[in-house]
């Protein structure tokens, strides 16, 4: 199995934002460009199965844990939000399975499907610009940046952040994730977080040894460790969503 997973709103909203005009014309143009993008990506990876995953209305378990989650995110334009059902219908006519779960974020649904498929020996490509997916990449799961036309792999994490992919969650737990309004530990930026992970390896070891870390950083870690633990829960992708789906339902059947 060669499964292509589309982070639908990541793709669609970027395409919509690039339009020079708004209204119904921009919505229809975005639909045309989005479906063409998905078909091109299908052909590029030679996918046998495809699923286009949309975000639900929520709230999700992350909002229950932290009510300010995604609080500052700009709302979707009303005309685009109103058209999403028609987008899904059009994709389905093209043989592209499309789905939404109100209780789960698209990222968690994608992560669950990716891990489940990889454990069965399948190959998975996730189309998204969200580097958070790098936490689940391995020899069976890869990330494709449609707009840059390139695959992202563990070496990208190493080159850009100086981290191993498995350290990405702990890195974000320390610095926070501004995209989703996830707090980090005060005073710890990317450089300091990287140094701490280089020395101690992971977040648990950093917190266990926080009393031995000199200066304000050590003091803050001792007093605000709960923030880091909360952030880790929020940035970790859920890979065990109960979806009641059969992977055979995602088989791509090119319209006649």
Instruction: Tell whether the model's pLDDT for residue 86 goes beyond 90.
Output: yes
Helix (H) or strand (E) run with residue 227 in it: helix 225-235
What is the band of 22 on the pLDDT scale with cuts at 50, 70, 90?
Answer: confident
What DSSP string runs through 37-78? HHHHHHHHHT-SEEEEEEE-S---HHHHH-TTTTTTPPPPPH
- Predicted pLDDT at 53: 98
* pLDDT one-digit tens code per residue, 157-182: 788 778 888 899 999 999 999 989 99
- Nearest one of 27, 15, 31, 38 to 254, comparing CA atoms: 38
* pTM to 2 decimal places: 0.93
Average pLDDT, the chain: 93
| pLDDT tens digits, 110-159 | 999 999 999 999 999 999 999 899 999 888 999 999 999 999 877 877 88
Domain range 159-235, CATH architecture: Orthogonal Bundle (1.10)
Mean pLDDT in residue range 60-82: 90
| Domain ranges (residues) in the chain | 2-156+237-250, 159-235
Asked if residues 19 and 30 have their Cβ atoms less than 8 Å apart, the reply is yes
More confident: 79 or 71: 79
Reported CATH class of domain 2-156+237-250:
alpha beta
The per-residue b/e assignment along 161-188, b for 16 or more CB within 10 angstroms, e otherwise, is bebebbbbbbbbbbbbbeebebbbbeeb
């Amino acid at each position: 199995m060669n499964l292509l997973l589309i982070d639908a709103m990541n793709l669609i909203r970027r395409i919509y934002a690039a339009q020079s005009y708004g209204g119904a014309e921009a919505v229809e143009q975005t639909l045309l460009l989005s479906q063409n993008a998905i078909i091109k990506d299908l052909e590029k990876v030679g996918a046998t199965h495809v699923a286009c995953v949309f975000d639900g209305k929520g709230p999700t378990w992350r909002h229950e844990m932290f009510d300010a989650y995604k609080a500052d995110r700009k709302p979707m334009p009303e005309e685009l939000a109103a058209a999403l059902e028609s987008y899904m219908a059009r994709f389905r006519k093209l043989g592209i399975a499309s789905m939404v779960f109100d209780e789960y974020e698209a990222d968690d649904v994608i992560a669950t499907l990716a891990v489940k498929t990889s454990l069965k020996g399948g190959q998975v490509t996730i189309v998204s610009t969200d580097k958070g997916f790098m936490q689940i990449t391995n020899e069976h799961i890869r990330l494709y940046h449609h707009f840059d036309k390139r695959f992202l792999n563990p070496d990208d994490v190493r080159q850009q952040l100086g981290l191993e992919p498995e350290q990405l969650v702990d890195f974000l737990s320390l610095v926070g994730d501004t995209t989703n309004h996830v707090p980090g530990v005060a005073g710890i930026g990317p450089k300091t977080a990287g140094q701490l992970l280089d020395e101690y390896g992971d977040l648990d070891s950093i917190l266990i040894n926080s009393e031995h870390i000199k200066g304000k950083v050590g003091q803050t870690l001792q007093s605000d460790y709960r923030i880091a633990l909360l952030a880790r829960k929020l940035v970790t992708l859920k890979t065990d969503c109960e979806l009641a789906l059969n992977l055979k339902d995602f088989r791509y059947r090119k319209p006649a």
